[in-house]
């Protein structure tokens, strides 16, 4: 059977014409009905806003001004019982026809005049509380998804979010006098966009901040249809800054220029990927948690390749961080389900060491500023934490040198402590003590003249591997990470004796991120370059750390507490002194009025003693390793608060022994596994006395149960006070 090609073409032409006619008729009907459809659509949206979010939306007038352009006037959005959220005098929005055919709304043009978006927070309420309802609905939807076994695909969510965001950026825009105002109780922050235009992909804008306090400009190119953008933000004649952050969060933040670039978005293999970049110039940060003064980052940038999968999000290892001349490759992956897993890696190639030191932000590592080095350095760090098994956390960190050498010290000469030196002690930035660490000080005690009991007890409690590690104890650090993760608090650090030595010898005692990072780097320099021997480091450590209120060095401590020289300290006195290292100012609170040690420390004595005995450092002992023989010198006993009238010898209450022993053991593990050592506030004898006071006893004798309950309450108060001091 043969087909007549001409006849087929004629039939196809008539069919196509029929479709065109039907489409034209449908378009004509829609065109004639569009005002009614617009009115109905807006009514539904207004009802939904009221029903779901308790928002009162009013529109003065809405009408079509072109085939696909709608104009609105006098738009207002007011949450019920709250301040007005949004007011727009005149808005005109145009949408692209072609995406509309496929069910997508893409804004082609936007004209806006005279608008105000005002976010108000007053005490615990704000006019954006309705967003909480949205979050609750999302949570309900998530729970429903979990119940039905369906899982939200994060890659699809991310792709839809980015597509919708890009679709809402118009090809042509003209915004005039649009203000964003933030009111937080009595503080206010405002951004008035005087002009913002997009014309032929070129973005220009002028933004007045806080009524002309500064003028910002957002400029660059924006091509949403090509999924590309490259913009920069800067201010006229001054850095970008928001004083509100300093008032609200004590954060002073300034930057000369911010840049952001979107290069490409793509979806393949079940992953959604975003390729972009960002950069800052002259970033200044000042916050008590970061450093004591300003930290300046002259130039920093990042080429970022973000990936989003079905149940994870991260930054690919092809990304690069630039800090001055230094470069690093990060890898970050956060797995959301079925359990949360955190993966973080940082790797660098072997780079010129001087380039790395020159790239350190100014004000971050003050003691290293001006240091001259040679050779190369390479850094690698890996962290893997599965939230279902946090105790199996994996962590490693290492700086690999290649012919690395210090040519010239910076502001601090770390080798100066190899000779006698003057040590200054500061508390809250005030000089409280100054003394010589060396033979000129009569209390200075050479390492070999200090009792082995004391030397071994301190090492056992603080850092037993001190003489064999390179300044860091990765096992202790892993335990610290796991503990902090489980408790959701920073309860443990990872300090070795090397780190404690560096903190006391060369750094301030302020708890800042920069101090901790500087401490780690200095430890590596000292250990790697063998600037100070382990023996000298330990000798200095024992001779200048604080052992009590204004008691520094083991010479002063042994004489002050026991009227002995350091060479004569027995096992009990040594274990007691090892216990008080993290909280020296509370040392006197560990004793009863007769000078004996409080019973809750007996378990600690047994634990430390057994560890020492198992290592051949002291003979095995069945009587708590000197606990019962420790006596505070008589001249100090009057400074201790009188014993509570309900205090009972724990030997008479064997059921209480477990709890007391556990307290001592917990204290030990909190320390030996890396709690950051910081000195507590001073406790005066009067405060100690007040802490121990209880109401006078009744004339009626108390039962054993009542006495036990009161004793537990007293110990609870003591423990709370101790934790307050140590934190």
Question: What is the C-alpha to C-alpha distance for residues 472 and 465, in angstroms, rounded to an integer?
Answer: 10
Is the pLDDT assigned to residue 706 strictly greater than 70?
no
Domain 416-636: CATH superfamily, name plus number = Biosynthetic peptidoglycan transglycosylase-like (1.10.3810.10)
Question: What is the C-alpha to C-alpha distance for residues 576 and 111, in angstroms, rounded to an integer?
Answer: 76
Is the pLDDT assigned to residue 194 strictly greater than 90?
yes
Q: For the residues of 463-483, what is the DSSP string, one character each?
A: -TTTTTSSS--HHHHHHHHHH
In the chain, where are the structural domains located?
311-411, 416-636
Per-residue pLDDT reduced to its tens digit, 245-302? 888 888 899 999 999 999 999 998 889 999 999 999 999 999 888 888 899 999 999 9
The two structure tokens encoding residue 185: 């109780």
Radius of gyration, CA atoms only, the chain:
35
Q: Which of 409-423, 608-622, 658-672 has the lowest mean pLDDT?
A: 658-672
Q: What is the DSSP letter of 641?
A: P
User: Which pLDDT score is estimated for 700?
Assistant: 43
By the 8 A CB rule, do 536 and 546 touch? no
Q: Which of 69-83, 133-147, 234-248, 491-505 has the lowest mean pLDDT?
A: 133-147
> Coil, strand, or helix at residue 28?
helix
Closest by Cα among 474, 667, 472 to 582 = 667
Main-chain dihedrals φ then ψ at residue 318, nearest 5 degrees: -75, -5
Look over the chain and give the mean of its residue pLDDT values, rounded to a whole number: 82
Closest by Cα among 211, 237, 207, 210 to 219 = 207
Question: Tokens 């509100």 map to which residue?
Answer: 244
Is the pLDDT assigned to residue 709 strictly greater than 90?
no
By the 8 A CB rule, do 396 and 378 touch? no
67: left (phi over 0), alpha (psi -120 to 50) or beta: alpha
> Coil, strand, or helix at residue 653?
coil
Closest by Cα among 534, 532, 541 to 454 = 541
Question: What is the C-alpha to C-alpha distance for residues 168 and 95, in angstroms, rounded to an integer?
Answer: 9
Give the pLDDT band (50/70/90) at residue 18: low
Contacts of 25 (CB under 8 A, 6+ apart): none
Burial group, residue 106, by CB count within 10 angstroms (0-12, 13-18, 19+) = buried
**Other C-beta atoms within 10 Å of 146: how many?**
12
Top-confidence residue, 108 or 607: 607
Question: What is the C-alpha to C-alpha distance for residues 433 and 425, in angstroms, rounded to an integer?
Answer: 5
Per-residue pLDDT reduced to its tens digit, 358-386? 999 998 888 999 999 999 999 999 999 99
Question: What is the C-alpha to C-alpha distance for residues 644 and 641, in angstroms, rounded to an integer?
Answer: 9
User: Which pLDDT score is estimated for 231?
Assistant: 96
The two structure tokens encoding residue 672: 């030996």
- Residue 332 pairs in a beta bridge with 315, 344
User: Which pLDDT score is estimated for 565?
Assistant: 95
Q: Cα dist. 324→296, 374, 383, 525, 667 in Å?
A: 12, 18, 25, 21, 44
Question: What is the C-alpha to C-alpha distance for residues 545 and 301, in angstroms, rounded to an integer?
Answer: 42
Question: What is the C-alpha to C-alpha distance for residues 395 and 477, in angstroms, rounded to an integer?
Answer: 8
Question: What is the C-alpha to C-alpha distance for residues 550 and 221, in angstroms, rounded to an integer?
Answer: 63
Question: What is the C-alpha to C-alpha distance for residues 89 and 11, in angstroms, rounded to an integer?
Answer: 54
Closest by Cα among 163, 65, 156 to 106 = 163
Q: How far is CA 48 from the centre of its chain?
A: 39
Closest by Cα among 49, 43, 47, 78 to 62 = 43
Average pLDDT over residues 71-81: 90
Q: Cα dist. 190→183, 211, 239, 339, 401 in Å?
A: 9, 7, 17, 42, 51
Contacts of 153 (CB under 8 A, 6+ apart): 310
User: Which pLDDT score is estimated for 134?
Assistant: 53
> Coil, strand, or helix at residue 71?
strand
Q: Which of 114-118, 276-280, 653-657 has the lowest mean pLDDT?
A: 653-657
Q: Which of 223-237, 427-441, 478-492, 712-726 has the lowest mean pLDDT?
A: 712-726
User: Which pLDDT score is estimated for 104?
Assistant: 59
Contacts of 103 (CB under 8 A, 6+ apart): none
Top-confidence residue, 277 or 2: 277
Angle between helices 130-148 and 5-53 (to 10 degrees): 120
CA angle 343, 344, 346 (to 5 degrees): 150
223: left (phi over 0), alpha (psi -120 to 50) or beta: beta
Q: What is the four-CA torsion angle of 564, 568, 570, 573, rounded to 10 degrees?
A: 30
> Coil, strand, or helix at residue 165?
helix
Question: What is the C-alpha to C-alpha distance for residues 622 and 571, in angstroms, rounded to an integer?
Answer: 13
User: Which pLDDT score is estimated for 11?
Assistant: 63
289: left (phi over 0), alpha (psi -120 to 50) or beta: alpha
> Where are the alpha helices (H) located in 507-601, listed in sequence order?
513-529, 534-544, 554-562, 571-580
């Amino acid at each position: 059977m043969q087909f007549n090609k001409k006849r087929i073409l004629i039939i196809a032409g008539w069919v196509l014409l029929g479709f065109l006619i039907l489409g034209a008729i449908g378009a004509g009907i829609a065109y004639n009905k569009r005002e009614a459809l617009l009115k109905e659509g807006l009514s539904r949206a207004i009802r939904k806003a009221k029903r779901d979010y308790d928002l009162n939306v009013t529109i003065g007038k809405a009408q079509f001004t072109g085939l696909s352009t709608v104009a609105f006037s006098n738009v207002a959005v007011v949450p019920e019982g709250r301040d007005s959220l949004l007011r727009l005098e005149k808005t005109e929005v145009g949408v692209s026809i072609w995406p509309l055919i496929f069910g997508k709304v893409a804004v082609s043009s936007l004209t806006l005049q005279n608008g105000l978006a005002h976010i108000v927070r007053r005490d615990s309420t704000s006019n954006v509380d309705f967003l909480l309802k949205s979050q609750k609905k999302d949570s309900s939807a998530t729970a429903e998804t979990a119940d039905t076994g369906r899982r939200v695909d994060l890659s699809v969510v991310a792709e839809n979010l980015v597509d919708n965001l890009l679709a809402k950026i118009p090809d042509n825009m003209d915004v005039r006098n649009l203000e964003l105002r933030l009111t937080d109780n009595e503080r206010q922050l405002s951004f008035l966009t005087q002009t913002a235009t997009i014309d032929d992909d070129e973005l220009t804008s002028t933004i007045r901040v806080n009524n002309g306090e500064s003028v910002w400009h957002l400029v660059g190119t924006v091509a949403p249809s090509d999924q590309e953008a490259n913009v920069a933000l800067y201010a006229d004649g001054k850095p970008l800054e928001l004083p509100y952050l300093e008032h609200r969060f004590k954060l002073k933040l300034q930057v000369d220029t911010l840049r952001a670039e979107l290069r490409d978005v793509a979806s393949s293999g079940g992953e959604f990927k975003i390729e972009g970049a960002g950069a800052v110039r002259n970033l200044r940060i000042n916050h008590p948690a970061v450093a004591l003064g300003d930290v300046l980052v002259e130039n920093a940038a990042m080429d970022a390749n973000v990936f989003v999968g079905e149940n994870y999000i991260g930054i690919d290892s092809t990304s690069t961080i630039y800090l001055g001349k230094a470069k690093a490759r990060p890898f970050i992956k956060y797995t959301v389900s079925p359990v949360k897993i955190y993966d973080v890696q940082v790797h660098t190639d072997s780079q010129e060491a001087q380039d790395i030191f020159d790239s350190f932000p100014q004000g971050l590592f003050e003691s290293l500023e001006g240091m001259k080095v040679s050779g190369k350095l390479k850094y690698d760090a890996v962290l893997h934490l599965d939230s279902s098994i946090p105790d199996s956390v994996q962590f490693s960190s290492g700086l690999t040198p290649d012919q690395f050498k210090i040519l010239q010290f910076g502001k601090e000469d770390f080798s100066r402590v190899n000779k006698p030196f003057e040590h200054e002690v500061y508390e809250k930035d005030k000089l409280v003590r100054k003394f010589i660490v060396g033979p000129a000080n009569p209390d200075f005690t050479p390492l070999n003249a200090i009792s082995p009991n004391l030397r071994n007890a301190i090492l056992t409690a603080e850092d037993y591997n001190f003489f064999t590690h390179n300044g860091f104890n990765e096992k202790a650090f892993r335990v610290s990470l796991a503990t902090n993760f489980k408790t959701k608090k920073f309860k443990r650090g990872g300090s070795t004796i090397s780190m404690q030595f560096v903190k006391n010898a060369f750094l301030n005692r302020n708890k800042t991120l920069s101090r901790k990072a500087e401490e780690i780097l200095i430890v590596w320099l000292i250990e790697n370059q063998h600037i100070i021997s382990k023996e000298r480091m330990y000798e200095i450590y024992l001779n200048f750390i604080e052992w009590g209120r204004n008691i520094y060095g083991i010479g002063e401590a042994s004489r002050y507490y026991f009227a002995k020289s350091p060479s004569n300290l027995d096992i009990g006195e040594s274990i007691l002194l090892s216990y008080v290292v993290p909280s020296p100012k509370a040392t006197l609170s560990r004793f009863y009025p007769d000078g004996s040690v409080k019973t809750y420390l007996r378990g600690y004595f047994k634990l430390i003693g057994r560890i020492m005995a198992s290592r051949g450092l002291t003979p095995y002992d069945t009587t708590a390793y000197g606990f019962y023989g420790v006596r505070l010198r008589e001249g100090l006993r009057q400074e201790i608060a009188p014993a509570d009238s309900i205090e009972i010898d724990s030997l008479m209450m064997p059921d209480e022994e477990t709890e007391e022993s556990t307290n001592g053991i917990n204290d030990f593990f909190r320390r030996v596994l890396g709690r950051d050592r910081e000195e507590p506030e001073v406790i005066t004898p009067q405060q100690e006395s007040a802490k121990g006071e209880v109401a006078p006893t009744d004339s009626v004798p108390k039962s054993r149960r009542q006495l036990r309950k009161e004793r537990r309450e007293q110990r609870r108060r003591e423990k709370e006070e101790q934790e307050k001091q140590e934190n």
